[in-house]
Amino acid sequence: MSEVVVGLDIGTSRVRAVIGEISDAGVFQITGVGTSPSTGLRKGVVVNIENTVRAVSQAVEAAELMSGLEVSRCVIGLGGTHVDGLNSRGVVAVTGKGRDNREIGQDDISRVIDAAKAVVIPMDRQVIHVIPQSYIVDEQRGVKDPRNMIGVRLEAEVHIITGSVTSVQNLVKCVNRANLQVDEYMYQALASVKSVMSEEERELGSILIDLGGGTTDVLAIADGAPLLTAVLPVGGIQVTNDISIVKGISVETAERIKLDAGCCWMPLIEENEEVILPGVGGRPPVVIPRSEICEIVQPRMAELFGMVKEKLGPIMKTRQLSGNIVITGGGALLPGVVELASDIFGTQAVRIGVPGNFGGLTGEYRSPDYATVLGLVLDAQERMAYSVEETSTQERKARPGLDRIKLWFKEFF
């Protein structure tokens, strides 16, 4: 019997559900994709339970219909302005328990991660991820896998991602009310990294910018682990609102015009390109040059990239990131984003993050706005494959709570 994995990305603009099946032979196949408009969130946070439940049900039903399966469990993406990241460190003495000498074992690693996790986190926040960046064994820095090394003192540097307890609970509640159980949750931008960023880019040091509808997520990664997490309360919806206000048209019309004719880099626009603005209240439609739309969109996008640059300032000064700036999310579909980002960040190392070729994915869904949900199923599939591998080798008993860390381990080493 094949195993089923379900990813659910509850975004501010859309809810997306993806069903993947892993055959007995271990072949991973995406068999269902469903999406629905999202109206119950503001800046990535649930503000209307009913609307969110409805949107989740619709997206999941559409994916079920496509795959011919009925699903009851899923992995969800967490996002929104309440998500934050911090770096921390922990130190322990190596016990060498049950071993001949002071050889570092899994228990020492778990203890040092716990020690690094023991930073004061306010009561209203919860830890979503603790991701090891590197270890220091005695004086030896930059150790990626300390297992079986000899040492007296073990230090871990970790990146901790936290979120608001109530925001997480509300999201889980919506999913439960749509008759789905939440098996795991993952910070949305980490999921996007999984589907769009190469291992080489993660090692060299790269930046993911997920341009969503309500938020822009920024994740800096170096040596395979996150260095900085930031969620900015701005996204594509602001761009649409700007067009709507400046041109005196409805938000729906403004969105359509943005999708059809939006651009954020003036040199890309030909002189004679025109856009038809429908007339409001019986007035006839008007024809305007496309450059007028760009004049509205470009400054807003430039402001957004400026905010991202400011957030990245401290790490750009201290770390050499020689990989790429990878732009993903629905906003990455806006023509001119690469050119504008190159100009603002002062580098040519900018590209659009399109989900990789996995699970027999067809062209339609290999799009930046599917980056998060595809990352979620990919991660779920890898975790499942990994736990099967672990159990079959009888190395360790499956410990679900540690799977996340183990998986990042697996990925880094």
Ligand X SMILES: Nc1ncnc2c1ncn2[C@@H]1O[C@H](COP(=O)(O)OP(=O)(O)OP(=O)(O)O)[C@@H](O)[C@H]1O
Site residues, ligand X (CB under 6 A): 11-14, 38, 44, 79, 212-215, 235-237, 240, 255, 258-259, 262, 329-331, 333-334, 369
Question: Which residues in 211-230 contact Mg ion (CB under 5 A)?
Answer: 212
Round to whole Å and give the CA distance between 115 and 79.
26
Angle ∠(21,131,223) on CA atoms, nearest 5? 95
Stretch that binds Mg ion, among 4-12, 63-71, 291-299, 344-352 (CB under 5 A): 4-12
27 binds, among ligand X, Mg ion, none (CB under 5 to 8 A by kind): none
Stretch that binds Mg ion, among 160-168, 204-212, 239-247, 313-321 (CB under 5 A): 204-212
H/E stretch holding 19 reads: strand 14-22
Stretch that binds Mg ion, among 3-11, 228-236, 262-270, 337-345 (CB under 5 A): 3-11
Stretch that binds Mg ion, among 107-115, 206-214, 227-235, 261-269 (CB under 5 A): 206-214
In eight-state DSSP terms, residue 173 is H
Residue type, 327: I
Q: Report the nearest approach of ligand X to the CB of residue 256 (Å).
A: 10
In angstroms, the Cα distances linking 348 to 125, 195, 325, 339, 390 are 38, 22, 9, 8, 42
Q: Report the nearest approach of Mg ion to the CB of residue 335 (Å).
A: 20
Q: Report the nearest approach of ligand X to the CB of residue 316 (Å).
A: 24
The C-alpha R_g of the chain, in whole angstroms, comes to 23
C-beta closer to ligand X: residue 133 or 167: 167
C-beta closer to ligand X: residue 103 or 255: 255
Q: Report the nearest approach of ligand X to the CB of residue 200 (Å).
A: 25
331 binds, among Mg ion, ligand X, none (CB under 5 to 8 A by kind): ligand X
Please name the residue ranges forming H helices in 119-250.
Answer: 165-177, 188-196, 199-204, 236-247
Stretch that binds Mg ion, among 5-13, 62-70, 112-120, 222-230 (CB under 5 A): 5-13
C-beta closer to ligand X: residue 198 or 238: 238
C-beta closer to Mg ion: residue 212 or 355: 212
Query: 70-81: string of b/e by CB count within 10 Å (b at 16+)?
Result: ebeebbbbbbbb
- Enter the tokens of residue 192: 């996007």
Question: For Mg ion, which residue of 6, 8, 10, 11 counts as binding (CB under 5 A)?
Answer: 11
Stretch that binds Mg ion, among 173-181, 207-215, 339-347, 391-399 (CB under 5 A): 207-215
CB count in 10 Å sphere of residue 97: 10
Round to whole Å and give the CA distance between 134 and 271.
53
- Enter the tokens of residue 81: 């302005």
Q: Report the nearest approach of Mg ion to the CB of residue 212 (Å).
A: 4
Query: 244-257: string of b/e by CB count within 10 Å (b at 16+)?
Result: beebebeeebbbbb
Distant-in-sequence, close-in-space partners of 73: CB < 8 Å, separation ≥ 6: 6, 180, 181, 182, 183
C-beta closer to Mg ion: residue 85 or 212: 212
Q: Report the nearest approach of ligand X to the CB of residue 118 (Å).
A: 31
Round to whole Å and give the CA distance between 381 and 140.
35
CA neighbor of 374 nearest in space, from 356, 388, 386, 362: 356
Distant-in-sequence, close-in-space partners of 381: CB < 8 Å, separation ≥ 6: 5, 20, 22, 28, 359
C-beta closer to Mg ion: residue 157 or 210: 210
Stretch that binds Mg ion, among 100-108, 144-152, 209-217, 303-311 (CB under 5 A): 209-217
Q: Report the nearest approach of ligand X to the CB of residue 34 (Å).
A: 14
Angle ∠(158,89,114) on CA atoms, nearest 5? 75
C-beta closer to ligand X: residue 297 or 380: 297
CA neighbor of 250 nearest in space, from 236, 240, 260: 240
Q: Report the nearest approach of ligand X to the CB of residue 351 (Å).
A: 17
- Enter the tokens of residue 160: 């901790």
Q: Report the nearest approach of Mg ion to the CB of residue 352 (Å).
A: 15
353 binds, among Mg ion, ligand X, none (CB under 5 to 8 A by kind): none
224 binds, among Mg ion, ligand X, none (CB under 5 to 8 A by kind): none
Q: Report the nearest approach of ligand X to the CB of residue 71 (Å).
A: 21
DSSP bridge pairs for 219: 208, 229
Residues of the shown chain interacting with Mg ion in the complex, contacts defined by CB under 5 A: 11, 212
